[in-house]
Structure 1
Amino acid sequence: MKLHAAAFLVIFWLATFTVHTVKGSIGSQRMRKFSCVRLSTQQLSIRNLVSYEKQQVPINAIMFLDTKGIKICVSPDKKWVQDAMKKIDQKHTTKRK
């Protein structure tokens, strides 16, 4: 009877350790908190944009971050989007110098 209880405890602790290890490895992976699923058709003011991020999954998009911290997803094919990305890149390049 004591042997069964000891075996049960060993199995219980191994299972608990395995679950925590798996959760830790999955939880420690960096995951995007916000993902574009729809695109805005509105043209944004370039001077209010502070950064951008390219995204290809689940849709091809550019995610802009504005001065208020709002994230807006737009089509990367638009001319104004390309211009905005260049302007943001130029701002970041001049700040680093």
Structure 2
Amino acid sequence: MKLHAAAILVIFWLGAFTVKTAKGSAGSQPMRKVSCVRLSTQQLNIRNLVSYEKQQVPVDAIMFITTKGIKICVSPNQKWVRTAVKKIDQERTKRQIIPS
């Protein structure tokens, strides 16, 4: 009887270990980067934009990041978007030049 109980405990332990290992390996995979699939058609206030990322797949887009951390995707072909990108680049350059 004791041998039977020990065998059941070993099988249970192996099952629990397998589930925990599978969960750990799935959780250790890197998360996918956020990407644009739909583009906003509204013009944004350039003063509220702090950063941007360029994207070409799945759609050609610029992802602006606002002062509140909101990410908004827009078409890079619009004039105001090119102006905003240029302004953000200039601000980055200014911050790099100023000694800390």
TM-score of the pair, normalised by structure 1: 0.70
- Runs of 5+ in structure 2 lacking a partner? 1-23
Distance 1:84 1:25, change over 3 A: farther
- Aligned residue for 1:77, secondary structure, equals coil
Correspondences of 1:15-94 after superposition (within 5 Å): 32-94=32-94
Moved more, 29-38 or 45-54: 29-38
Distance in 1 between residues matched to 2:25 and 2:82, nearest whole Å: 37
How far residue 55 of structure 1 moved from its aligned partner, in angstroms, is 0.3
- Aligned residue for 1:38, secondary structure, equals coil
Percent pairwise identity: 74
Distance 1:51 1:41, change over 3 A: same
Q: What is the CA RMSD across the aligned residues, in angstroms?
A: 2.7
- Runs of 5+ in structure 1 lacking a partner? 1-23
Distance 1:25 1:57, change over 3 A: farther
Distance in 1 between residues matched to 2:57 and 2:39, nearest whole Å: 13
Distance 1:25 1:48, change over 3 A: same
How far residue 33 of structure 1 moved from its aligned partner, in angstroms, is 2.9
- Aligned residue for 1:88, secondary structure, equals helix
Q: Aligned residue for 1:11?
A: none
Larger Rg: 2
Residues matched between the structures, number: 97
